[in-house]
Amino acid sequence: MSVVEPPPSPIRARISRSAWLNNLALLRRAAPHAKLLAVIKANAYGHGAIEAARSLTSADAFGVARLGEALELRAAGIWQDIVLMEGVFSDEELSHALANGLDLVVHEAAQLAMLERARTPGRRPVVWIKLDTGMGRLGFAPEALPGVAAQLQRIAAVGEIRVMTHFARADEPDSPMTSRQLARFEAALGALASRPAVALANSAAILRWPRTHGDWVRAGIALYGSSPFAGESASSLGLQPVMTLETRVIALREIALGDGVGYGSTWCAQRPSRIAVLAAGYADGVPRHLPNGAPVLIEGHRVPLVGRVSMDMITVDVTDLPQAGVGSSAVLWGEGLPVDEVAAAAGTISYELLCGVTRRVSFEYR
């Protein structure tokens, strides 16, 4: 018995390769003298890591958080340089990383010990020493850099040594924190006999802190067309949305004055109202806490969300949009409706919305 391919889901994520390339080119122009590491962790921020790697072939390297993400790319035939930005967590992981030609970040002593125990691979990996200059998460203290670098230089399994850090507040152009972190980083490098290649700048720093560009920059959220700055739109920066999450109207309802809509009747009609039901819910990645009034596009027109987001459906008020009908297209975020705006309405950030799109959603790459 043959298996019939099911029709596509009514909700789909339309992914624009041209927007990816636009954003990559913009970030390269912003840091013209640096190599660019494209961060495609978390399934490329929900966009599809394999397709991201295939679309962004001109990036100088890719960055992922964990080994499994890198092995998925290798299995798909992606053989560009890949950096494990959290490093490895066991000798077994290190063995897999070396066998698959992955580059490593080290940020704690246990990872140095793993490298000392490792057998020399055919290709010695680039090892990035991560310094904690103020983020307060991963990394060696800046004053430990000379000792860590010397230890790595004695390990046969290690190739080129580079140094990196991560900014805590680069998205705040007037914050002195980034300048302090840069000063700590530069002071640490000054204790070395020779200066290695370095990487400091994330998306915000690429666009606002040219002093931090160094030899490498790491492009994350801006690569996907979202602004790294609160209160500054992606379009004003020249960024284009890569993902457009869209669905359609599956039903219309006439609601009388005073009637409620959805679980808990969190919205009640203040006038006789026409309500459109859309095939999208928190099982697709629409935040359940998205409030009444949050914007949705129906046939290119903004209408307000009304009622609580449920597992498979949301409802919007189309009383003032008579052309809306069953089958009308709806955009939840993307072209015409910035994901940053929807995220702000939900009290969160675009990263969470993009990463939260679920496997029930159909993906279409153009």
The catalytic residue positions are: 41, 263
Residues with Cβ within 8 Å of 13's Cβ and at least 6 positions away in sequence, in order, are: 46, 47, 243, 244, 245, 246, 357, 361, 362, 363, 364
**The token pair that represents 334 in the structure block:** 């993307």
To which H or E segment does residue 350 belong? helix 350-355
If you write DSSP's letter for every residue of 258-306 in order, what string do you get?
A: T-EESGGG-EE-SSSEEEEEEE--TTTT--TTPPTT-EEEETTEEEEB-
Residue (of 189, 135, 142) closest to 162 by Cα position: 189
6, exposed or middle or buried, with CB in 10 Å at 0-12, 13-18, 19+?
exposed
**Matching residue, tokens 């490098």:** 189
**The token pair that represents 195 in the structure block:** 């200066």
Distance from C-alpha of 26 to C-alpha of 237, rounded to nearest angstrom: 9
CA dist 359 → 56, 69, 125 (Å):
22, 16, 34
Residues in the chain: 366
Give the CB-side neighbour count of residue 74, counting CA atoms within 13 A.
18
Distance from C-alpha of 363 to C-alpha of 366, rounded to nearest angstrom: 10
